[in-house]
Structure 1
Amino acid sequence: MFFIYGGSFIVGDTKTYGYKIISDNIVSQGIIVENCFFSTDNDPNFSGNLGLWDQLEALKFINTVIHDFGGDKNRITIVGQSAGAASVSLLSLNEEANDLFSQSISMSGSAFSQWATKNNISEIALKVAEKLGCDLNGPPKIKECLKSKNITDFQAAILPYIQFSDPVDLNPVPIGPKLDGDFIKARTLEEALQKAPKKPSLIGVCSQENVLYALSMPGSTTPPGKYFGHLPESVSNYSKTNLEEFVTVVLAKEKYFGKNVDAFVKEVMSDVHFNIPALREAILKAKNQYPTYFYLFDYNIDSSDNSSKYVQGSAHIEDVVTLFGSLYKEVKIDKNGKKVQKQFAELIENFVKTGIPSMGTINVPRIIPNSFKYIQINKKPSIKADLWKHRLEFWNNIGNKYGFDLASGEQIKNNSFKQEL
């Protein structure tokens, strides 16, 4: 397993995840785990996607040395979570990476998300350069200045622009990969996906993704109903006044939802940030003959986490916490949690070894035309069908009707969303 961690393309390191739980759950089953983890201007003097190129070089290195550690370079699975999952999406579409991995796992992240790929981020790049004290008089001077800064400088300059404090910011990650025609030699992700080798792909999301950022419960500093006024300001290229009014006037009113307004916000933003992009990627891969499988992680693994009293289901990173342990605190796992942990580890293990996810007597069906089946992972895992079908149709119809898609951040032409299986 070649694991690319999350962190908004900005924060995190390999030490954060530790080794004990992943050793117990995955390494003990004979699987080797390697943990891995962007120019930002549109000027041709700045080479883009340096983070992705670094990941590609790391993958090449693993291919070279994995035999010395008892591994098989022909059985490498690239795995990513959140921003790392978006990286996996992009890495799998790079021509140089074609022969460097056998399959992929994307956990709560997709390159098809608005926050995952950038087309024009020169404004934020200049702000960061200015914050770093650089002379903004021309790209050469900016580049020379940026080269003199270290990673700590960059993180300090960029972090103020991350908008996770606003639960419904549509694009909370200020920088990241861009489609530059170089790392991915295609005009669109759809075109690249059609051309890439059809390798097995396991895609998953957590049942309540945005709870990690949006949960409003006793002690929260974010009051209910605060979020919506910021939504139009989050997307600079909205072109339809109707869409702005739909979000700010119709959806924003607490009177329509009463006490359920918080739950509504979390569900909507979970869709926009994670669920809909993941579903679209899975459907598109299946339609292009990729062996594609899907899971819904639906269990709060930490028995000491009080958020389960307010929202049923699992938040963003809950699945990776189950495999690796918590990024920030000790996780207390009760008897039921240990059972879920063991089953989920078995699912990942079997996919890594065989290319087909399974646990016990349950074999996860491959997604095929007219049949979107997936595994729901909780105390009693089971195979279900048509995950959030009506929600996917809703967001596709909104994009087609108003000409702008919230999940991808793209203008929509000619009813382009026809992604039903």
Structure 2
Amino acid sequence: MYATLVLLGLFVFVYSAIAGGVERTPVTGPIVFTAFGLALGPVGLGWLHLDLDQEGLRTLAELTLALVLFTDAATADLSVLGRSWRIPERLLGIGLPLTIVLGFAAGVLLFPELGWLEIAILATMLAPTDAALGKAVVTNTSVPANVREGLNVESGLNDGICVPILLALLALATGVEQYRPGFSLGFFAEAIGIGVAVGVALTLAAAWLLRLSTRQGWITETWRQLPVVALALSCFGLAQWLGGSGFIAAFAGGLLYGALAKQEKHALLLAAEGTGDTLALVTWVAFGAGVVGQTMGYISGSVLLYAVLSLTLIRMVPVYLSLWGLPLRPDAKLFIGWFGPRGLASIVFGILVFTADLPGGDTLTVTAVCTILLSILLHGLTANPLVGAFAKGSGRGCDG
């Protein structure tokens, strides 16, 4: 245990010291974190022993995603979003369903051994995009603001939208009672409604208390680092407890917090962003050490082809079609389509599906892991080069 603690501590320290330099290269943090976990994990040198079971990894991924969603939403430019809301509206209302449908069609062709419900589950697992892996793009000011905000809102909401769909499919595939509530439009609306309500209510109360504490001088510099972290996790946890979507609660709370805490927002968000980055580091190290190494030997040609298609045609064609008619140039539509990384949400969904004990569960899990691993590599390596090319090209001229 102590050896693992030393290795993780030293790795966090070293990466923290060189993070700025790494971010200027094509190699992103998640690539480094996953490679570190794989190299030092059980299938590598065997030095790193992270005793995380499936529930532990799922919880870690959920908390990381909730914190990233909150902080990304809090830094969103609402004035830009107000002018370009049609981009995320189309991506979520048209692009997301089309992605699931096209993913299902590809699965029917590539995995004849799976049942149709299992293929639909796979398509839903890999439909949501990841805010953590997309951070290199949505925080880069070289990317036009409307494109950044569109991708940010899409990644913030599609996880929560896919949860009730996934539960409905699991209910049909397994007949297990715990998934049965998902099989209703009422539950879908309730999950989103509770998520929004919790995020708004908690954030309103928290923002009022923080303003009061600041005026009265009650909050010290030391404790100033923690309120946003606690608020983000509280939004997520309370919404989940009440049967809603914790991811939507975190994103809704972050949007409202960013609008209310304009002056002190930057200082209060710094600690939360640092905590989110640290949790992401641990999550990807655990993913590399405990998941990637154990599944690489099971990757088949069909699995690899589906993973490639999931990141390209299955994602990009629906995005391009959904943005049809908007004042966006073709390169902007292709850029938005390409930068739909799969990560934390798919990890959470993958563990949920794996524990459901479906007949084709192993194939679904290996395909999800392969897709996430490819996304870490391909989206990471192309982020800075494609952002630079897009900024220099005609994409700057798009308005949304």
TM-score exceeds 0.5: no
Give the alignment's TM-score, normalised by structure 1.
0.26
Q: Name the structure where helix makes up a greater proportion of residues.
A: 2
Give the structure, 1 or 2, with the largest relative contact order (CA under 8 Å, sep 6 or more). 2
Q: Name the structure where strand makes up a greater proportion of residues.
A: 1
Give the alignment's TM-score, normalised by structure 2.
0.27
